[in-house]
Structure 1
Amino acid sequence: MLTVAIYLKFAFFLSLILLTQSRPPWSKLNQKCGYEFCPHLEPDMINVHLVSHTHNDVGWLKTYEQYYWGMKTDTQRAGVQYILNSVIPELAKDPKKRFIYVESAFFWRWWTHQDEEMQNLVKQLVNQGRLEFIGGGWSMNDEAATHYSPIVDQMSYGHRFLASTFGKCGIPRVAWQIDPFGHSREQASLFAQMYFDGLFFGRLDMYDKKQRESDKTMEMVWSGSDDLGEKSHLFTGVLPNGYNPPDGFCFDDTCSDEPIVDDPASREYNVPRKVADFIEVIRNQAAHYATNNIILTMGSDFQYQNAPIWFNNLDKLIAAMEAEKKNGLKINVFYSTPSCYLYSLYQANRTWTLKTDDFFPYGSTDHSFWGGFYTSRPAIKRYERVSNNVFQAIKQLHAASNLTDEKTFDAVDNFHRAMGILQHHDAVTGTEKQLVAFDYAYILNDAIEKSMDLMNRALQFISSKDKSSQSNSDPQYTLCLGLNISQCEVVESNDKVLVTLYNPYAHEYDFKVRIPWQESNYKVTGPNGESLNATIIPIPGFMQDFPERKSSATHELLFKATLPALGFASYFVEKVSSNKPTPKLETILPLTTSEAPITAQGKGFSASFDPSTGSIQSVSLANGKVVKLRQKYQWYAGYDTPKEPPSGAYLFRPKGPASGFPDQPTYQIFNSPDCFEVHQNISDYVSQTMRIYPDDPFIEFDFKVGPIPVADKVGKEIISLFQTDLKTNKVFYTDSNGRQMMKRVKDFRPTWKYKVIEPIAGNYYPINSRISLKDEDEDLQLVVLTDRSQGGASLNDGELEIMLHRRLLHDDSLGVDEALNEPGVDGRGLIIRGKHYVLISDIKSSNILHREKGMQLYMAPVVAFAPISSFDDYRANHKTIYSFLQRALPPNVHLLTLEHLNLNNWLVRLEHFYQSNEDPDGLSKSVRIDFRGLFNTKSVHGVKETIITATQYHSEARRLTWKTKDSQSTREIETEIGNEVHDFVVTLKPMQIRTFLLRLDD
């Protein structure tokens, strides 16, 4: 397959680099695509950079496949194949014309269908800088609902495809985030580490934009990280008109603007009027920008399917403006690209303002805050997170087993493409049509299914004690993706099951295994043949009635598994024929209000619960401090007046304050030495289980929401509210794409004077992994960790709220043309299940605990099941516990990527996952890692550092630097070689990600 060939081609290039230490294929010197080949500028004129472009959503109103092939024209006239088929011949005709392309997922699909003649023509255009790739990720990823790990993967995968296909000229120099609905600081940091010279985007808050237009600060330097300093600085520009053409100058055949008629003999001759209008556009824009260069985006969604229409009119416009220039007009108009525009700003040699916060939330009008999508379609958000977890495990197993056949590379390749598509800003965001959401779920399911053979072969190979004796009798594993609804067919239909847990996290830890079980006796055997303690706990009735659940299990079997770092452990679970068990499980029925509170002990704290409702009341810490903690569910009514923007897939606009649930909760409590559980029923469609494990510092809230009732014609948005007595002074914190924490202040924006118009929606921020409150005076911190991306806020001191689920009855008129009303499997409405993990501790301890727990949750074990007849026989022929690491990594280091490239070559990313202020005297310090003797069965014989996308050597990478008021001077190019590899030893600083190509021998 061509897909595999491309993948292996790039893998071969990387391995060749390590073996020969020669210059990489992307450094071809005869390619003429650099900044020096940009169009000529006129220093005493306004230089107008016309950027011909198309924006191609990787799914939105139609599926990815439908968009590529041009299907469902009644929904949207959009066919990506026709865009490239039309543009390429036009570029070939005229050396002055330029065009940019962004989404590698579509370009890859088109490229695989071209013959050699067309591919050679495209390579020529790319080498000449006339077809330029901008952004270049597999998709244009969202920045609010995405985690940094799949962002890195999908950007790298797109860049690697472009580098292997086109060499140096294929590697984008400019990030192009024109359509996402807000922009994160961590994304800026990652782009800087990808060695982009700059970023352009289209959306920011309307008042932020007005202020910047007034101050001429539409372009700035964005500091992506306090910890990384200037290495995270990224020049950033706000485009003047989103990403659309100026009014009156849209020349696509889907546009309604009149074309340019340049025949004076025609009664429709309109050149003078068009020129006058265009000059007005230019002067109005130039008044808001700091240099004599401006950019005009000449294109929009799926435009240039008939490229001659656009180019014909732009040619006429340029010719008319050239004639005016000869008559003394000081305006120079020409075809350009974002890269050339960026370089013109660099040549201006200005000092730019420095931005250190982010661009959330995004408000497009007074009542339109785009914060609903932080939570929209929570099921697909969770499925994306679980799929990425499986993907990381698959890549690691592929590397550790050293499987080199094309089928295994194809499985990894297919998974890369699936995860890349899901990062799109209308995919994981939940802002697509329902039929597209179903297709995204299919894409993820297909990727998992096609990776199962690789997983089985890898586990069988690694676990086998005699590599030559592998046979069909080896266990055939399956993943139970229904564990989130307490369903696993292989466990329920077999009396003896092998449970192998693969730990993709490069640190050892204890994991609580919960599998569906009948009320029958059991025996759990550990990896070394030891008998393990276990408990069976009833599954609450409200957790058994999912419409899609096909399970008769009434209980869950709970036991603790100790997992080696970056490895696996196998356990044996069997049903035992004997009398019904008498587990050490105490059932506590609801008590009267006169009774004393119910208490449960966790690690370093105890929690008390209200005997009348079962709700949590307070947390007592080991240091004697007591924090009041109330948790309850509420709902917002979605605004639904037709003349005003309602809550929808994109927007969050509640009618007013949240409402509570009127009935008093009912509950049961189950207590055992292994776990304390409160099963609490809030309403017909909201319920939860609160859990406290004696060896865990977190309280687990396992919630079920849905189907949200809408018979009253009111759309509803459900939140979980945490109330404490912490003194927080309007300040709270949310993570940025799962990494650095961002300070938030209620009713405040750092860069402009904020006017409170929507007091609730205007204070909502995206959460990818955690949200927190601090009481600095009392040295206390509350952290809530999430299992998927959600939205949240602190609307009152000491309170946090997190939105869980949304069901709305009106479209918010932002393009999707469909209400966010997910049907669920039975048409009654979607039901979701999810978890929050709540920690209260002193600030320093809390920083360490939530970082560690956050990594464990994100890199959760992949639990595989296989029926076998005898664990003793299995143990005789197989390893039951194994780690790919010969020694432990430092506790502040995460193995972000382990990927098999070719033969004995691996791509490895290491990251320091603490910020410098979180544990200054300990885990926030720099740390050294020695690659020698790090991996079991593999010896590292060569290490070469690359940039984060693995498309350039780190020591040879260059990017432009920009002057700010805090910087010393401007250098033409920046060489960031401060942390090279010395004798296989590397150093990581706080928040630093470093990428390496390793050559290994058996």
Structure 2
Amino acid sequence: MWTMGTDFRYQYANSWFRQMDKFIHYVNQDGRVNALYSTPSIYTDAKYAANEQWPLKIDDFFPYADHPNAYWTGYFTSRPALKGYVRAMSGYYQAAKQLEFFKGRNESGPNTDALADALALAQHHDAVSGTERQHVAADYAKRISIGYAEAEDLVASALALLVNQRLSSHVMNPVTGFQQCPLLNISYCPPSETALANGKSMVIVVYNPLAWKREEVIRIPVSTAEVFVQDSAGKEVESQLLPLSNITSSIRKKYVKAYTGTAPAGELKYWLAFPVSVPPIGFSTYVVSRPKQTGHVSTISKEFRSDGSTNNSIEVGKGNLKLLYSANQGKLTHYVNSRNQVTASVEQSYSFYSGHAGDDKDSQASGAYVFRPNGSFPIKSDQQASFTVLRGPILDEVHQQLNPWVSQIMRIYKTKEHAEVEFTIGPIPVDDGIGKEVITQFSTTMKSNKTFYTDSNGRDFIKRIRDFRTDWDLEVNQRVAGNYYPVNLGIYMQDNGTEFSVLVDRSVGGSSLVDGQVELMLHRRLLHDDARGVGEILNETVCIADKCEGLTIQGKLYLRIDRKDEGAKWRRTVGQELYSPLLLAFTEQDEDNWLHFQQPTFSGIDSSYSLPNNTALLTLQDFGNGKVLLRLAHLYEVGEDRDYSVTANVELKRLFPNKKISKVTEMSLSANQERGEMEKRKLVWKVEGGFTEESKVVRGGPVDPTKLVVELAPMEIRTFFVDFDPLQTVPAAENHVAM
């Protein structure tokens, strides 16, 4: 195979093809080789016809380099804001498709098509990768934003329809629309900030797009301390108020103005945090109002500030998980989980690599594609780091300001056994003429033996060994960049006793360059082009009223330490919850209209059923005419977990309790051809070393048309078109919708 062309070649297509025609003509005139314009399928058929044995490769080719100092590992992190936006909108899109199914698809009304198109476009290798020019990145984001606006209308109308169907007849006014808060990440949510101020109740519908029940804590901004939370049955829910940090307030003011054109009205005082319980593929309703009785009010977090005068440890965390900090330096020192008896020494630090500008020996610079560091520099505050602890019944927070452009909040929830790190980085200063690539490191005493694991597109984890490949002799010219890998879901390392895992909220680059240490790159701002076709430096800025400064990034990491071989359950479950976050929608209602009546809850599946813990519903999409696209995935690898790396069963009748299934057709993964037809054309390749029965890939069996149970083997994804009988529905008594 001679692959034709590279980037930009077909700008001169006429010249290109004339020369290729000549090349083919003269090669064939010689007669020893037959050259032809081909396709991947023609090439594959020719290789299969050769009847040879082929080597089996089970890992990948990362990291890639086209030059000793040009490792293409910078783009794993480039444009982290766009990466985060694509991830967030992908989760929103899946939830919106589910609600579109429950409401019924409307081709002419608001639907999910525009968002689907924009997200598909963003999968281009110069889009979410961050290797496009600035104006192109802005165009991708704009398209996604336009698609979101239409999907937002769909979600609001679908939730209103579902809520009104379930409201008591005593409730006088139906809900006409829900507001959502796309700027909640910068603590801006007008409905939650204004509702209580005018004597109204705020009704929050919390939608769960996963097919298992979720117990989580949600946080919303409120402008008053006089708040009282009730669940769908009218029962009081314990809640906690957390004062906004200075960084959160400044980001809110700056970026709300950047997005909306005007600064937010009034000062925001608190985050309101409270636990929610949400059924699978369904919603629960919560009401936030001013308390009618004294004592019924949210708890304000107690604040503790270290003055650095004591050497004692500060313990943070109310539940099984405790983090210990040194009081005099405000540094994380230990991780303690009383349930699984894990105690470990852990430290966290920030630093940056200076981006190489190229030199006389090699002009290669660090840029959008290439990561070429020129030294590492710790980020330390000029004085003792600002260190504040907020304590309360729901969660504890540790606020730290390292310098004017790096800060973080560490959260430990009472009911969770992982820590949440919310980092804020930017604007990265470049006044010194040096581009910077900012990283955080978690250091432990684990003996990881050069080995760590990173995910492959959020699915299986691939074993990485520093400076080593199993199937060729590796020469690493760049010790840091040459050991960086893409991290889409998470990264972990282990020794004989424990394993340390970090999950991410967007794709980043990461590594373990020292035994017992995990490193993740969080943000990049560079001053030179790396000469790989972008023709523009990676220097993202935000301009407000003609004043431009570097882009600020806010993101989250999630970390946990388990006993060896016990971390997979957390990585897979929480990883899925990060991909599909809870969707919040808000509406104002007169207090008297709502508070005396039970609020609705809803589950789109049989209320006594949820998917097995090792299985996820990836896609539920209405195709009209009684047809739905259903995609199910097994979340575990073979041997990954002793309990969950087993075949799972999904009962379709209980997934669709109020519909009569008339036909189930299994499709290819992309749903563009039937699996049965595809199997007929499947090629069976000869593999070097031969196949044993044990090494054959296990697959779930055919779906019995009567039992309608789908089998999923480890790591299997199966895609179906499910047809419903439009004339038959299951009687209401069997329709297990929670009320």
The answer to whether the superposition gives a TM-score over 0.5 is yes
User: Which amino acid letter does the alignment assign opposite residue 961 of structure 1?
Assistant: V
Contact 1:566–1:885 under 8 Å retained in 2: no
Q: Secondary structure at the match of 1:440?
A: helix
Quick check: 1:900 aligned with 2:622? yes
- Tell me the equivalent position of 2:255: 548
Provide the C-alpha distance between the structure 1 equivalents of 2:20 and 2:670, rounded to a whole number of angstroms.
36
- Tell me the equivalent position of 2:417: 697
TM-aligned CA deviation for residue 879 of structure 1: 2.6
- Tell me the equivalent position of 1:480: 181
Taking a change above 3 Å as real, the CA distance of residues 578 and 960 of structure 1, as seen in their structure-2 partners, is: same
TM-aligned CA deviation for residue 390 of structure 1: 0.8
Provide the C-alpha distance between the structure 2 equivalents of 1:935 and 1:877, rounded to a whole number of angstroms.
26
Taking a change above 3 Å as real, the CA distance of residues 836 and 871 of structure 1, as seen in their structure-2 partners, is: farther
Quick check: 1:824 aligned with 2:524? no
RMSD across aligned C-alpha pairs, in angstroms?
Answer: 2.6
Provide the C-alpha distance between the structure 1 equivalents of 2:105 and 2:488, rounded to a whole number of angstroms.
35
Can you list the C-alpha shifts for 1:191-243, whole angstroms capped at 9, x where unaligned? xxxxxxxxxxxxxxxxxxxxxxxxxxxxxxxxxxxxxxxxxxxxxxxxxxxxx
Taking a change above 3 Å as real, the CA distance of residues 762 and 900 of structure 1, as seen in their structure-2 partners, is: same
Moved more, 794-803 or 741-750: 741-750
Taking a change above 3 Å as real, the CA distance of residues 626 and 299 of structure 1, as seen in their structure-2 partners, is: closer
Quick check: 1:959 aligned with 2:664? no
Contact 2:65–2:71 under 8 Å retained in 1: yes
Taking a change above 3 Å as real, the CA distance of residues 468 and 519 of structure 1, as seen in their structure-2 partners, is: closer
How many equivalent residue pairs? 695
> Which structure shows the bigger proportion of residues in helix conformation?
1
Provide the C-alpha distance between the structure 2 equivalents of 1:584 and 1:976, rounded to a whole number of angstroms.
54
User: Which amino acid letter does the alignment assign opposite residue 647 of structure 1?
Assistant: S
Taking a change above 3 Å as real, the CA distance of residues 901 and 586 of structure 1, as seen in their structure-2 partners, is: same
Provide the C-alpha distance between the structure 2 equivalents of 1:862 and 1:706, rounded to a whole number of angstroms.
28
User: Which amino acid letter does the alignment assign opposite residue 552 of structure 2?
Assistant: I
Taking a change above 3 Å as real, the CA distance of residues 527 and 882 of structure 1, as seen in their structure-2 partners, is: farther
Quick check: 1:456 aligned with 2:162? no
TM-aligned CA deviation for residue 372 of structure 1: 0.7
Quick check: 1:640 aligned with 2:345? no
Contact 2:325–2:333 under 8 Å retained in 1: yes
Provide the C-alpha distance between the structure 2 equivalents of 1:785 and 1:518, rounded to a whole number of angstroms.
32
Provide the C-alpha distance between the structure 1 equivalents of 2:220 and 2:41, rounded to a whole number of angstroms.
53
TM-aligned CA deviation for residue 696 of structure 1: 0.3
**Pairing of 1:568-967 with structure 2 (within 5 A):** 568-575=283-290, 583-601=299-317, 603-622=319-338, 623-642=340-359, 643-663=362-382, 664-775=384-495, 777-778=496-497, 780-826=498-544, 827-870=548-591, 872-873=593-594, 879-886=600-607, 887-920=609-642, 922-957=643-678, 958-967=681-690
Taking a change above 3 Å as real, the CA distance of residues 594 and 815 of structure 1, as seen in their structure-2 partners, is: same
Contact 1:465–1:878 under 8 Å retained in 2: no
Provide the C-alpha distance between the structure 2 equivalents of 1:459 and 1:984, rounded to a whole number of angstroms.
29
Provide the C-alpha distance between the structure 2 equivalents of 1:616 and 1:385, rounded to a whole number of angstroms.
29
Provide the C-alpha distance between the structure 2 equivalents of 1:644 and 1:885, rounded to a whole number of angstroms.
63
Moved more, 809-818 or 944-953: 944-953
Contact 1:892–1:914 under 8 Å retained in 2: yes
Taking a change above 3 Å as real, the CA distance of residues 770 and 321 of structure 1, as seen in their structure-2 partners, is: closer
Contact 1:566–1:884 under 8 Å retained in 2: yes
Quick check: 1:992 aligned with 2:692? no
Can you list the C-alpha shifts for 1:90-111, whole angstroms capped at 9, x where unaligned? xxxxxxxxxxxxxxxxxxxxxx
TM-aligned CA deviation for residue 703 of structure 1: 0.7
Q: Secondary structure at the match of 1:296?
A: coil
Contact 2:100–2:111 under 8 Å retained in 1: no
Q: TM-score, normalised by structure 1?
A: 0.66
- Tell me the equivalent position of 1:234: none
Provide the C-alpha distance between the structure 1 equivalents of 2:534 and 2:590, rounded to a whole number of angstroms.
53
- Tell me the equivalent position of 1:513: 218
- Tell me the equivalent position of 1:78: none
- Tell me the equivalent position of 1:249: none
Quick check: 1:323 aligned with 2:29? yes
- Tell me the equivalent position of 1:428: 128
Contact 1:959–1:975 under 8 Å retained in 2: no
Provide the C-alpha distance between the structure 1 equivalents of 2:612 and 2:663, rounded to a whole number of angstroms.
22
User: Which amino acid letter does the alignment assign opposite residue 531 of structure 1?
Assistant: E
**Pairing of 1:352-501 with structure 2 (within 5 A):** 352-401=54-103, 403-408=104-109, 411-465=111-165, 473-495=174-196, 496-501=201-206
Quick check: 1:338 aligned with 2:40? yes
Moved more, 599-608 or 496-505: 599-608
Contact 2:317–2:395 under 8 Å retained in 1: no
TM-aligned CA deviation for residue 542 of structure 1: 1.3
Contact 1:362–1:369 under 8 Å retained in 2: yes
Moved more, 459-468 or 894-903: 459-468
Unaligned runs of 5+ in 1: 1-294
Unaligned runs of 5+ in 2: 257-262, 730-739
TM-aligned CA deviation for residue 306 of structure 1: 6.8
TM-aligned CA deviation for residue 943 of structure 1: 1.5
Can you list the C-alpha shifts for 1:235-254, whole angstroms capped at 9, x where unaligned? xxxxxxxxxxxxxxxxxxxx
Q: Secondary structure at the match of 1:824?
A: strand
- Tell me the equivalent position of 2:260: none
TM-aligned CA deviation for residue 471 of structure 1: 11
Provide the C-alpha distance between the structure 1 equivalents of 2:555 and 2:129, rounded to a whole number of angstroms.
17
TM-aligned CA deviation for residue 883 of structure 1: 4.0
User: Which amino acid letter does the alignment assign opposite residue 573 of structure 1?
Assistant: V
Contact 1:521–1:579 under 8 Å retained in 2: no
Taking a change above 3 Å as real, the CA distance of residues 585 and 314 of structure 1, as seen in their structure-2 partners, is: closer
Contact 1:848–1:918 under 8 Å retained in 2: no
Contact 2:321–2:418 under 8 Å retained in 1: no
Taking a change above 3 Å as real, the CA distance of residues 321 and 769 of structure 1, as seen in their structure-2 partners, is: closer
Provide the C-alpha distance between the structure 2 equivalents of 1:978 and 1:823, rounded to a whole number of angstroms.
50
Can you list the C-alpha shifts for 1:791-820, whole angstroms capped at 9, x where unaligned? 111111100110100111111111111111
Provide the C-alpha distance between the structure 1 equivalents of 2:166 and 2:388, rounded to a whole number of angstroms.
51
Contact 2:320–2:414 under 8 Å retained in 1: no
TM-aligned CA deviation for residue 474 of structure 1: 2.2
Quick check: 1:530 aligned with 2:530? no
Provide the C-alpha distance between the structure 2 equivalents of 1:387 and 1:578, rounded to a whole number of angstroms.
41
Q: Identity over the aligned pairs, expressed in percent? A: 36
Task: Please tell me whether Structure 1 or Structure 2 has the larger radius of gyration of its CA atoms.
Answer: 1
Moved more, 392-401 or 474-483: 474-483
User: Which amino acid letter does the alignment assign opposite residue 789 of structure 1?
Assistant: S
Can you list the C-alpha shifts for 1:64-96, whole angstroms capped at 9, x where unaligned? xxxxxxxxxxxxxxxxxxxxxxxxxxxxxxxxx
Q: TM-score, normalised by structure 2?
A: 0.89
Contact 1:377–1:430 under 8 Å retained in 2: yes
User: Which amino acid letter does the alignment assign opposite residue 718 of structure 1?
Assistant: V
TM-aligned CA deviation for residue 345 of structure 1: 1.2
Contact 1:706–1:832 under 8 Å retained in 2: yes
Taking a change above 3 Å as real, the CA distance of residues 902 and 611 of structure 1, as seen in their structure-2 partners, is: same
Q: Secondary structure at the match of 2:636?
A: coil
Provide the C-alpha distance between the structure 1 equivalents of 2:604 and 2:22, rounded to a whole number of angstroms.
66
Contact 2:132–2:534 under 8 Å retained in 1: yes
**Pairing of 1:76-115 with structure 2 (within 5 A):** none
Contact 2:232–2:598 under 8 Å retained in 1: no
Provide the C-alpha distance between the structure 2 equivalents of 1:582 and 1:888, rounded to a whole number of angstroms.
32
Provide the C-alpha distance between the structure 1 equivalents of 2:327 and 2:276, rounded to a whole number of angstroms.
33
Provide the C-alpha distance between the structure 1 equivalents of 2:625 and 2:92, rounded to a whole number of angstroms.
23
Can you list the C-alpha shifts for 1:927-980, whole angstroms capped at 9, x where unaligned? 2222123324323332221121112222221322221113359xxxx9998611
Contact 1:614–1:678 under 8 Å retained in 2: no
Contact 2:243–2:269 under 8 Å retained in 1: yes
